[in-house]
Chains A and B, each alone.
Chain A
Amino acid sequence: MVIALGLEGSANKLGIGVIKDGEVLSNCRRTYITPPGEGFLPKETAEHHRKNVISVLRDALNQSGVKPAEIDVICYTKGPGMGAPLASVAVVARTLAQLWDKPLLGVNHCIGHIEMGRLITKATNPTVLYVSGGNTQVIAYSRHKYRIFGETIDIAVGNCLDRFARVLKLPNDPSPGYNIEQMAKKGKKFIELPYCVKGMDVSFSGILTFMEERADKFLKQGYSPEDLCFSLQETLFAMLVETTERALAHCDSREVLIVGGVGCNERLQEMMKQMCEERGAKLFATDERFCIDNGVMIAQAGYEMFKSGTRMKWEECFITQRYRTDEVEVTWRED
């Protein structure tokens, strides 16, 4: 039996969770929410995490019913992410490890998403679409690495959505993407937007600029904000589904797993499901508890690393803003 504690704070979500041999014992989260029209900045986000980390930790431990002495390993997000928020949480993880005399593991955030998705959905060897505020990648496993087949060549899809939400001054609560999704449901008229796919790679910056420059004009022409959200979502998601399908064909894979915050968008899931059905593949997705950044996913990836024998020296337990998914040696998979 292995019990892992996971701490995550690479962006504006602070999450702490406990997992015991694949069973989620607790999964607590608090989100730093900025006023409409504003994004979150590193300094303020780190401040939010520092202010809340002790009480979230207490909640996570209480809900899990686990005593510190029973914990086998402490896992934290090593990267990628924003420097200051990452550091604010890593410091706590380091302190706990010393206080309770436990091994410490730095976990790659993206790997956390993938392993949590695999655990919850039971997908065995899926082609993974990882879509969040900071990342857009199409990933497949081979030869002990999660390999990046496609990715954005500029900004992440979540970033594109968030920044467009600022143009329309949509609230950031619970998240800009969620509010765009609700608006898009009421959209009717489709506006043709730039569509940019290069093989398995995508580019979103052109669409964002196009929207930023023309949003006012479209609104004056009689398009509603809902139409704009609808058109944007349809276009962005079509690009994601297309590149995922290309990777699926290239890898001869029959499973798709969507992870990351944008992954809880139901329209994206629906489109992906249609694509899968057309080619006899199966879609796996999770809801916001596990899709959106959380602590338990860091615990789960750390648990896998720990069980397969990974140990980190104190000096290795730093943080890094850049940390690619394919840098991590996957020691816990046999295939």
Chain B
Amino acid sequence: MEGFELFRQGAEGRIFKGVYLGKPAIAKERFVKKYRHPDLDSHLTKERIKSESRSIIRCKSAGIRTPALYLVDFNRRTIFMEYFENSIVVKDFIAQASNEVISKLALKIGAVLGKMHANSIIHGDLTTSNMLLVNKNGQKSYSNLQDLELIFIDFGLSHVESSAEDKGVDLYVLERALISTHSTASEIFDQVLEGYKLENKSGFKEVLAKFKEVQARGRKRTMVG
């Protein structure tokens, strides 16, 4: 991977930054995890690469913006995709934004997620680390939400499924990620649901019911030391 330099070590792999066919790109390399059995490792890595590329393409045909997919290289366990120069991770954005702005952003998050679910795409790892806000005018400024486009990334754990159960679990994962990370989680999540309803009108009721069911299961689980 000539010309690519290490830029971040995520949970799944290393992210390198460089240029692919003249365009700024990242290479996400799911390197061998020595801690796990080689059979399990190669199986999981293949699955994750397939899931990530499949969902990016499915998003594209549904009109949901994600990083564009450039190249999938199974031998090098690497996916090449579009790099967003001027972007901020939603987790960091929320940490410095006003409640009013956060509420608007949450509505957007819900809307994009609703659209994804309406297209049977389950993200599988919904956290505010896996969402970017990209400046549409090519500037390094993140002060005005109107200039920012919300983009979901990291589809390694995603899958295609139309049932309400998996969508409910997806929402549950998001709710819990919000609670653990952000102090105004419940306000954020309420707005997410509002946005979701707008984009997944027909599915909303059933998904919400499933979400509540999964949530109740979690609360009821007795814990023994």
Chain A residues at the B interface, C-beta cutoff of 8 Å: 8, 10-11, 13, 77, 80-82, 109-110, 113, 132-135, 140, 142-143, 147-151, 153-154, 156, 190, 192, 195, 197-201, 234-235, 238, 241-242, 245-246, 248-250, 260, 270-272, 274-275, 278-279, 293, 321-324, 326
Contacts and interface: CB of A to CB of B under 8 A. Distances in A.
B175 to A, nearest CB: 11
B214 interface: yes
Interface string B192-225: 0000000000000000000000100111111111
Interface stretch (B38-46, B71-79, B103-111): B38-46
A200 B177 contact: yes
A41 to B, nearest CB: 12
B218 to A, nearest CB: 7
Contact of B37 (A234, A248, A324): A234
B225 A293 contact: yes
A198 B161 CA distance: 14
Majority secondary structure, A binding face: mixed
Which A-B residue pairs are the 3 nearest by beta carbons?
A134-B224, A80-B223, A274-B35
14 contacts: A113-B225, A134-B225, A135-B225, A140-B180, A147-B180, A149-B176, A190-B40, A198-B124, A235-B40, A246-B11, A249-B10, A249-B11, A279-B9, A322-B223
A10 B36 contact: no
A80 B224 CA distance: 6
Interface residues of B, number: 38
B169 A81 contact: no
Interface of B: 9-12, 33-37, 39-40, 43-44, 91, 124-127, 129, 157, 169, 173, 176-177, 179-181, 183, 214, 217-225
B225 A199 contact: no
| Residue among B11, B33, B218 having the largest count of chain A Cβ atoms under 10 Å | B11
B48 to A, nearest CB: 10
Nearest to A277: B34
Contacts of A148: 176, 180
Contacts of B222: 80, 134, 321-322
B36 A241 contact: yes
Contact of A192 (B43, B126, B177, B219): B43
A190 B37 contact: yes
Nearest to A80: B223
Contacts of B129: 249-250
A264 to B, nearest CB: 14
| Residue among A13, A143, A151, A250 having the largest count of chain B Cβ atoms under 10 Å | A250
A151 B127 CA distance: 15
Nearest to B129: A250
A192 B169 contact: no
B180 A80 contact: no
Contacts of B9: 249, 279
Given A148-B180, A246-B11, A238 B40 contact: yes
Nearest to A276: B35
Nearest to A83: B222
A199 B177 contact: yes
B44 A195 contact: yes
B85 to A, nearest CB: 22
Contacts of B183: 143
A198 B223 contact: no
B40 A195 contact: yes
A153 B219 CA distance: 10
B33 to A, nearest CB: 7
Nearest to B41: A238
Contacts of B10: 249
A13 B12 CA distance: 37
A192 B36 CA distance: 12
Nearest to A275: B35
A215 B184 CA distance: 47
A254 to B, nearest CB: 12
B6 to A, nearest CB: 12
B34 A278 contact: yes
A117 to B, nearest CB: 14
Given A77-B225, A246-B11, A238 B35 contact: yes
Contacts of B218: 151, 153
